[in-house]
Amino acid sequence: MGLVVDTVSVPGAVAAERWTAAVSRTFAPVHVSYPGDGPFEGRITADRCGYLEVSTIDADPHRVCRTPRLITPDRRDFVVVALPAAGTVSVRQHGRTAEVTPGDMVVFDTSRPYVLDFRERVRVQTFRVPRRVVTTTDTALGAVAGTAIRADHGVAAMLAPFLTNLAASVGTCDGTVGDRLAGHVVDLVGTLVAERTGRAGDGAESPAKTELIRRVRGYINEHLADPDLSPLSIAAAHHISLRYLYQLFAAEDSTVSRWIQQRRVEEAGRELADGNRMGDGVFTVARRWGFVNASHFSRAFRSVHGMSPSDWRRLRDGAATAPAALPERVIAAP
């Protein structure tokens, strides 16, 4: 796994800023606060498996707040599954508070406010996927988010060990394998929500349709670099009508073209933040992910990340160096 942040031996204010930025990248923009005035030590490692982001958090007590003001209309929403390996995590969302301990899991949704309380030294594995790929309604997801789920029966008993084993080997998963594994996680999370809300048999997507959506998503991920990738070529590759393809994505509150653009921007952003690729020009990276026009890429990138590709690269490059100390002990994410 790649190191995102390690605050050991870092001065307090600088450590707080680094930690806030790292937690915001791991979940979504947040406020972070710390009990008392003592030193804070935390470490986050992270890796990707297709569009699934896997992180491990080892940290002293602190509180993470996703407030309504941090949730903007152009937000990128995620569903996060968290599995504590040591310590207790308190998760508050949708008016509920869950005390999650080893042997439990919890789901939360970054499109809604939440509070995570780490009241003791903890070690937590988290798994983050884009909200739009999880085929469940907001109502069903809201009914499950913020509840402690025992991982010893039902779908959770299958999902928990799968996630744990995936976290242990995520560095070996790339390309098509990574996308397929991410698809399996998404399917299991959707099934978990259906099981917990009693929706498994009341008109939920048929297994065949769910599998088709998964295959289409996988095909798109495999062909992102092809500038000729289009809804028409995707429909032809899967022997379905263009209209039916649009219907599949309409059920996910998205469009095919929007999904393609979003995934291309995500992959380009990942490369632009990679310190090993700083020699590649911004548009060189964009072309690798299917963009053929620099202005279009810049607009698409800004719509997702809220900044230009060049600013994104400078921000990520600057995160590798020690930032200026801040006077505040409670720091808002940018």
Residue-range domains of the chain with CATH = 1-204 (2.60.120.10), 206-323 (1.10.10.60)
Burial of 43 (0-12, 13-18, 19+ CB in 10 A): middle
Torsion of CA 94, 95, 97, 98, to 10 degrees: -30
Q: Tens of pLDDT along 211-240?
A: 788 888 889 988 999 999 999 999 888 878
Number of alpha carbons in the 13 Å side-chain half-sphere of residue 21: 19
| DSSP assignment of 246-268 | HHHHHTTT--HHHHHHHHHHHHH
Evaluate if pTM is beyond 0.75.
no
Single out the residue of 56, 55, 17, 58 nearest to residue 41, CA to CA.
58
What tokens appear for 18 in the block?
């680094």
Per-residue model confidence (pLDDT) at position 48: 87
User: pLDDT 10s digit of each residue in the chain, 334 long?
Assistant: 576 778 877 777 788 888 888 898 888 899 999 887 778 889 999 988 888 999 999 999 999 999 998 988 666 789 999 999 999 999 999 989 999 999 999 999 999 999 999 989 999 999 999 887 787 888 889 999 999 999 988 999 999 999 999 988 887 676 667 777 888 898 899 889 989 988 554 444 556 677 788 888 889 988 999 999 999 999 888 878 788 888 888 766 568 888 899 899 988 888 888 766 677 889 899 999 999 999 999 999 988 888 888 888 887 665 444 333 333 334 444 4
Single out the residue of 250, 147, 148, 265 nearest to residue 205, CA to CA.
250
What tokens appear for 296 in the block?
């279009």
| DSSP assignment of 170-203 | GGG--HHHHHHHHHHHHHHHHHHHHHHHT-TTTT
